[in-house]
């Protein structure tokens, strides 16, 4: 299990970074730790993909957002027509795909508010694609562009989120598995076009949008 720093980073002049303000209380002696996925939770991966796919392949069939099913977009395109899976993959492997993604409504404001809460550490926890020529750099560049340079110290790139220690993980992927069979975090499913049809078994929880009461989810994990 990889344990992230329980204290916020210190910045020039003694200012606190984006990991939250400190109060007297903590969770088991430390701040509440929240992991936020990037693509599909903060950045509009699905919308960005569809726009670029239709622009590059205007004569090919596509899947409207309301018809998306399943986390793996390339698999659904592969079932639509032979060869479409590879074409879909070429979109997010191309330069500037991740950097050009638009923030989801309310995401930037919510993250900044979350990071300003007392006893709260916020990290962006995102998985780079295996074709890494552009993706890792562009994920950092996206965070700097939309959340500011102070958030760069709170970016975690990993192919396995189960090994990262936290209290909450807000992520749009329904099935998050890895080396750790019992992750320390509670997975809150962020609603996206590809997962809105899934019924979560109790006690699974959703965050439908950043306009929903995300504060209540965080407060439910704090000590009473």
Among all residues, which ones are annotated catalytic?
A: 37, 39
115: Cβ contacts below 8 Å, ≥ 6 apart: 18, 19, 20, 122, 151
Other beta carbons within 10 Å of 15: 10
Strand ranges, E, within the chain? 2-3, 32-36, 120-126, 155-157, 164-165, 168-171, 186-190, 205-207
Length of the chain: 224
Contact 125, 159 (CB under 8 A): no
Contact 68, 47 (CB under 8 A): no
- Rounded-to-integer distance, Cα 59 and Cα 185, Å: 44
Contact 73, 46 (CB under 8 A): yes
The sign one gets for the Cα dihedral 112, 114, 116, 121 is: negative
């Amino acid at each position: 299990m990889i344990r992230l720093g329980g204290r916020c980073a210190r910045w020039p002049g003694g200012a606190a970074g984006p990991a939250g303000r400190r109060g007297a209380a903590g969770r088991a002696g430390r701040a509440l730790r929240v992991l936020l996925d990037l693509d599909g939770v903060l950045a509009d991966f699905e919308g960005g993909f569809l726009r670029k796919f239709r622009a590059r392949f205007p004569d090919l069939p596509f899947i409207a957002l309301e018809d998306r099913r399943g986390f793996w977009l390339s698999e659904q395109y592969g079932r639509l027509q032979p060869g479409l899976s590879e074409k879909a993959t070429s979109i997010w492997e191309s330069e500037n795909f991740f950097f050009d993604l638009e923030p989801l409504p309310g995401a930037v404001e919510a993250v900044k508010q979350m990071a300003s809460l007392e006893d709260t550490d916020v990290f962006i926890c995102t998985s780079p694609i295996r074709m890494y020529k552009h993706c890792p750099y562009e994920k950092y560049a996206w965070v700097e562009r939309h959340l500011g340079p102070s958030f760069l110290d709170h970016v975690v790139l990993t192919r396995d989120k189960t090994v990262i220690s936290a209290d909450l993980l807000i992520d749009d992927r329904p099935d998050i598995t890895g080396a750790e069979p019992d992750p320390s975090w509670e997975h809150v499913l962020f609603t996206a076009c590809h997962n809105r049809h899934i019924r979560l078994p109790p006690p699974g929880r959703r965050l439908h949008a950043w306009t929903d009461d995300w504060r209540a989810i965080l407060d439910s994990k704090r000590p009473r």
